[in-house]
Amino acid sequence: MIKKTFTQEEKRELTKKIMPRSIIYSTLGILFAIAISHLAKTGTSIWLIVGLSMLYVIIITVVSLSFEKKK
């Protein structure tokens, strides 16, 4: 396995690219977990929970694609 050593400038560039994405994904993940746990406590239909899960995946995909377009 070959290991690449990054310079300080390359590390800064990678951090600039990764940080906004990780903050958004973390926030969306926490909100999703809160929503699903609340819906499970209230006895919501499984189909609504599945629908919200699909919506979450769509939102993550859109966010990912928007970051890819910025390149």
Question: How high is the pLDDT of residue 71?
Answer: 57
pLDDT score, position 1: 62
pLDDT: which is higher, 17 or 61: 61
> What is the value of pTM for the model shown?
0.57
49 touches 39 (CB < 8 A): yes
What is 2-47 written as a DSSP string? PPPPPPHHHHHHHHHHHHHHHHHHHHHHHHHHHHHHHHHHTT--HH
Q: What is the pLDDT of residue 70?
A: 64
CA distances from 23 to 14, 16, 29, 37 (A): 14, 12, 10, 21
pLDDT single digits (tens) 25-69: 888 888 888 888 888 888 888 888 888 888 888 888 888 787 776
